[in-house]
Chains A and B, each alone.
Chain A
Amino acid sequence: MTSVVSSEPSESGSQTLTISVGPQHSGSGHMRLIIEMDGDIIIRASPDPGYVHRGTEKIYELRNIIKNIPVIERPAIIDASNLNHAYIRAVEELQGIEAPPRAQYLRCLLNEMNRITSHLYWLSIFGVFLGHTTMFMWPLGDRELIVDLQEKLTGARITHSYIVPGGVRRDLPQGMKEEAIKRTQYLEKRLEEYDKIFFENPIFTARAKGVGKLSRDEAVKLGAVGPALRGSGVDYDVRKDEPYAAYPELDFNVCTRQEGDSYARSMARIDEIRESCKLIRQIVQKIPSGPFRRKAPIVVPRGESYSRVESARGECSVYLIGDGGDKPYRLRFITGSYRNMAIIAPVLIGGHMADMPTAWWSIDYWPVEADR
């Protein structure tokens, strides 16, 4: 629902209009964006988060570390395993245990599959808010290729609860290797068709190129993360800069684009899907044999730990304080979208109202993940 909040004369004497986009998902996600316009130029934009705040950080303090796993996944169910990975790494650091190498590879496998499904989900929403209904249907359909693989590996389609302290819950099933190779190759072929129908479509490029500019310096200053940062030409990816799990042994590129506009941010994600496809094939071919889980106590020893991973929407970090019981004493959980809230205003201001969906969705801000 979009509603007019006020209409008053600005300092220059012209009439400005303040409208409220959201919070009931009118193309803003589940949050409110207060936008002030002069004509149809946005002169002020302020995000008003909190509509889907669920107080998860308090909930984490009331449950033991295993019971926390499904709750940790909830803020971003389409990217569940990446959030879960950050949490489990913090727990393992306190417990002083490390998962066996096979488990590290399996974790990365699921992380990469989640990255693809999350980016495809974003693409379908991006497509539909730009009025391209085909781009809504195709990625959601092709997402099924990967969701089906996730189901084979973990037994659940989206909220896997797969990564646990000490390793993962299931081994690689039979036939998974061949299926993963076939499907990722098929997906890469489909991405070429996406280029033809959408990313090289003059109607899309006219709407996305040069829209929602964010300069390199501004992105760094405001602390943007993930594809929103890499779309502004900053080569930063936790998987490369602070490698964890099996990433040091895997060969992949960090996908950056220089322009810093909506088109660059979108293409950074599409490049990442291609890179993740390659990573999945590498992982299933390289995966070492051995155990996939080792015993871990249900206890958080006294101390502090910090871990971060690269989730689909950027760096996700967990700061954990343990007091020797089975529950976290305090768990601070920061997700990519929360960090990207700072760039919403600079990306929107100065643009046309009609360009708002392009600029806004190219950030891939996920209110549920940011509000937690």
Chain B
Amino acid sequence: MTVKGSIKAVADIWTAYYSGLRHLFHRSYTLRFPEQRLVVEKGYRGRHLLHLDRCTGCGICAWICPEKCITIVPRGERWYPQYFYGRCCFCHFCTDYCPEYALEETVEFDLAEYTRDRLVWSPERLARPPAGKNDKYVFSVETPRGASNIPRVGAKPEK
């Protein structure tokens, strides 16, 4: 390697180190989930919300479901869908195809359970409004120290 080449190599390696070291002063991308939670915007395809008053039990949701995770179950005189979240891929074709607009997307996404039977959501459980969580971080590229998750405007400060 020529002298000029070696000098260039040293300079390039220093540039690489320098650009890495500068990131010591960048904000981090990651959050300490579940204590710190990202705000999920409306429109996110999370778990379903079933409006019991609108559902006619027609079964179109069960017909279109690609993963066959909907069963129509009787409740007295009426029939309602029951979901098995172990198989759901959250495509929300069921929501799209429901003729009565009885299904809705919610922003609730953390549905992990310890047992398989807890993943079966009865119509009554599906009808519960999503539990409010302490979501207060948003992703922004406009922070002075690089893109990061920052507390949402108006969010309560951390204790």
- Please report A residues at the B interface, Cβ cutoff 8 Å: 63, 66-71, 134, 141-142, 144-145, 148, 151-152, 154-156, 159, 161, 169-170, 173, 182-183, 186, 193, 196-198, 200-203
Residue of B nearest to A68 (CB): B66
- Please report B residues at the A interface, Cβ cutoff 8 Å: 8-9, 12-13, 15-16, 18-20, 29, 41, 43-45, 64-67, 89-93, 96, 105, 139, 141-142, 147
In the complex the two chains form, is B141's CB within 8 Å of A186's CB?
yes
Residue of B nearest to A159 (CB): B89
- Tell me if A's interface is mostly helix, strand, loop or mixed: helix
Q: How far is the CA of A92 from the CA of B65 in the complex (A)?
A: 21
Q: How far is the CA of A134 from the CA of B45 in the complex (A)?
A: 32
Contacts A70-B89, A155-B105 hold; do A183 and B141 have CB atoms under 8 A apart? yes
In the complex the two chains form, is B13's CB within 8 Å of A202's CB?
yes
Q: How far is the CA of A156 from the CA of B93 in the complex (A)?
A: 13
Q: How far is the CA of A152 from the CA of B43 in the complex (A)?
A: 7
By CB atoms of chain A within 10 A, which of B45, B67, B141 has the most?
B141
Chain B residues with Cβ under 8 A from A201's Cβ? 12-13, 16
Chain B residues with Cβ under 8 A from A66's Cβ? 64, 66, 93
In the complex the two chains form, is A71's CB within 8 Å of B13's CB?
no
Residue of A nearest to B30 (CB): A141
Q: How far is the CA of A154 from the CA of B90 in the complex (A)?
A: 12
By CB atoms of chain B within 10 A, which of A68, A183, A186, A201 has the most?
A201
In the complex the two chains form, is A70's CB within 8 Å of B29's CB?
no
In the complex the two chains form, is A156's CB within 8 Å of B15's CB?
no
In the complex the two chains form, is B66's CB within 8 Å of A67's CB?
yes
In the complex the two chains form, is B141's CB within 8 Å of A203's CB?
no
In the complex the two chains form, is A161's CB within 8 Å of B91's CB?
yes
4 further A-B contacts with Cβ under 8 Å, apart from A68-B66, A161-B92, A170-B43, are: A67-B64, A69-B91, A193-B19, A196-B18
Chain A residues with Cβ under 8 A from B8's Cβ? 202
For residue B20, give the distance in angstroms from its CB to the closest CB of chain A: 6
For residue B37, give the distance in angstroms from its CB to the closest CB of chain A: 15
Chain B residues with Cβ under 8 A from A186's Cβ? 141, 147
Residue of B nearest to A200 (CB): B12
Residue of B nearest to A142 (CB): B147
Residue of A nearest to B40 (CB): A151
In the complex the two chains form, is A197's CB within 8 Å of B19's CB?
yes
Chain B residues with Cβ under 8 A from A170's Cβ? 43
For residue A167, give the distance in angstroms from its CB to the closest CB of chain B: 12
In the complex the two chains form, is A145's CB within 8 Å of B147's CB?
yes
Chain B residues with Cβ under 8 A from A142's Cβ? 147
Chain B residues with Cβ under 8 A from A68's Cβ? 66
In the complex the two chains form, is B44's CB within 8 Å of A155's CB?
yes
In the complex the two chains form, is B141's CB within 8 Å of A161's CB?
no
Chain A residues with Cβ under 8 A from B141's Cβ? 145, 182-183, 186
Q: How far is the CA of A197 from the CA of B23 in the complex (A)?
A: 11
Q: How far is the CA of A183 from the CA of B140 in the complex (A)?
A: 9
For residue B111, give the distance in angstroms from its CB to the closest CB of chain A: 15
Chain A residues with Cβ under 8 A from B65's Cβ? 67
In the complex the two chains form, is A196's CB within 8 Å of B19's CB?
yes
Residue of A nearest to B96 (CB): A169
In the complex the two chains form, is B92's CB within 8 Å of A155's CB?
yes
In the complex the two chains form, is B19's CB within 8 Å of A148's CB?
no
Residue of B nearest to A182 (CB): B141
For residue B67, give the distance in angstroms from its CB to the closest CB of chain A: 8
In the complex the two chains form, is A69's CB within 8 Å of B15's CB?
no
